[in-house]
Amino acid sequence: MHVVIDAFVIAASYLLAWLIRFYDQLTGPSLIGILPFERYMFALVFIVPGFLILYQAFNLYSPKRVQGRRLELANIVKANALGVLLIMFALYMLKENDFSRLMIYIFVCINVAAEAAARMAIRYILRDIRKRGLNQKHMILVGYSRAAEEYIDRVIANPQWGYIIRGILDDSVPAGTTYKGVKVLGRIANLMVILPNSSLDEIAITLGLNEYYRLEEIVALCEKSGVHTKFIPDYNNIIPTKPYTEDILGLPVINIRYVPLTNTFNAMVKRLMDIAGSIFGIIVASPVMLLACVAIKLSSPGPLIYKQERVGLHNKNFWMYKFRSMEVQPEQEEKKAWTVKNDPRVTGVGKFMRRTSIDELPQLFNILKGDMSLVGPRPERPFFVEKFREEIPRYMVKHQVRPGLTGWAQVNGYRGDTSIRKRIDYDLYYIENWTIGFDIKIMFLTIFKGFVNKNAY
């Protein structure tokens, strides 16, 4: 049905594109050099199946229960972009000079929008059906672990996925133990007894990390059942959600962490954005910086710019610039702790600058120098880095990228005197999921809600 709907959308988008391009032909005489309507419609014989094959190639017919909308939209755009290139290549090879290229561009734009709308409608219809208890997938978990509990949490929080967990099998947890309504039914060996009477759609292996020596045995047992089996690892606190693998002559090698910015091209693109963005920011913010300089000089004695040693890319220290917002104090006193609410060291002007993030503007020069980036994890002082690296798991991963003027943690409210652990979770998510679009999103969020923050003291 999905394929039929897509075929109809492609054909309708193509016809609408023809109408937009050649509307005058419906009422006026046929124009010289313009192909007849039948000739254009004949191309659908190749365009419709061709685009359906592209949709299949870009995984647009995979199950949508847990697939994100942005990923699906990205695949629609990619499939249509490749489709228009193939059409143009075919027209060039066939020397079809009179075939309107503009119409093809209009068709692809309409088709992307129509496909996105159609798939969104299908997604919401299916989710509504599943929320009402229909179109469900019944499954059982093999192994009680943190992974099992986290999976149950997500399934319960997302009824639109349409999953019903019938129970858990485990050899070390007593039968009858319950987690959020999901009961331990018995031992793993009971799987072959339970399956014939349960009509299960899926089995999920959720063994604890200390039971991985049994993995081969359990996989063999599950696959003997003939039911679709998937594996939910219990090491997500060690290996992130997007590890990448290498094939070494048939031996899979899992790299612990994928950092997109270690790619030279990605790093170059981000650096060019930083240079252009920092120059633009300096020009636009120069009147504000000039007023800040005047206010600082009038409010308290001392220098305009305050520089502080921070830890940056590859654990290298650099001097980070800020407008001075505190009374001048001995260096050893300043190093003792960061500012807290109602800190007496902060001047009246400094309090306003901190609340509105005006004190951070000199960091645009750090970005221009290459010490920092527009977007990234916030840098910390060496003393705190040494402290947190021992207390917080994965803290040092943040130094695999340049620190930023703003970041994913900051736009979500984690700045100033807030949870370091939560901040690191957001930083790691950013590091592992970096894209140009993600950077642009964070910069827009910074403009609308990141500059003024109640946690900035």
How confident is the model at residue 440, as a pLDDT?
A: 92
The yes-or-no verdict on residue 235 having pLDDT over 80 is no
- For residue 134, what pLDDT is reported? 81
Query: What is the pLDDT of the chain when averaged over all its residues?
Result: 84
pLDDT in tens, 156-169: 888 878 888 999 99
* Cα–Cα distance for residue pair 399/401, rounded to 1 Å: 5
Mean pLDDT of the region 123-135 = 80
Q: CA–CA separation, 359 vs 63, rounded Å?
A: 49
DSSP bridge partners of 404: 373
190-214 pLDDT per residue, tens: 887 877 666 788 889 999 888 888 8
pTM above 0.75, yes or no: no
Indicate the pLDDT class of residue 113, thresholds 50, 70 and 90.
very high
Residue 409 CA: distances (Å) to CA of 263, 342, 405, 423: 23, 23, 11, 5
| The pLDDT value given to residue 237 | 66
Closest CA to 197 of 133, 136, 140, 132: 140
pLDDT tens per residue, range 275-303 = 999 999 999 999 999 999 999 888 888 88
Query: In this predicted structure, what is the pLDDT of residue 349?
Result: 82
Reported as a pLDDT band with limits 50, 70 and 90, residue 115 is very high
Tokens standing for residue 453: 């923050």
Query: Which is more confident, 450 or 62?
Result: 62
> SS3 of 200, please?
coil
- The percentage of the chain sitting over the pLDDT mark of 90, rounded to a whole number, equals 34
Residues 254, 245: contact at Cβ < 8 Å?
yes
Residue 330 is predicted with a pLDDT of 63
pLDDT at 49: 93
- Averaged pLDDT, 262-286: 92
Contact 255, 432 (CB under 8 A): no
Q: Quick check: 189 pLDDT over 80?
A: yes
pLDDT bin (cut points 50, 70, 90) of residue 76 is: very high
- Quote the tokens at residue 134: 């229909």
| Distance (Å, whole) CA 18 – CA 226 | 50
Q: Where are the alpha helices (DSSP H) in 132-228?
A: 146-157, 191-198, 215-224
For range 71-89, the mean pLDDT:
91
- Confidence class of residue 71 from pLDDT cuts 50, 70 and 90? confident
Task: Give percent of the chain with pLDDT exceeding 70.
Answer: 88
Other Cβ atoms within 10 Å of 23 Cβ, number = 10
Q: Is the pLDDT assigned to residue 68 strictly greater than 80?
A: no
For 362-407, write each residue's pLDDT tens digit: 999 999 999 999 999 999 999 888 888 888 878 888 898 999 999 9
pLDDT confidence of residue 29 = 47
Ordered domains of the chain (ranges, CATH): 2-131 (no CATH), 137-238 (3.40.50.720), 262-450 (no CATH)
What pLDDT digit, counting tens, does each position of 305-353 carry? Answer: 888 899 999 889 999 999 988 877 666 555 555 565 666 677 778 788 8
pLDDT of residue 242: 65
276 dihedral zone (left: phi>0; alpha: psi -120 to 50; beta): alpha
DSSP letters spanning 306-331: EEEEEE-GGG-EEEEEEE--B----H
For residue 457, what pLDDT is reported?
52
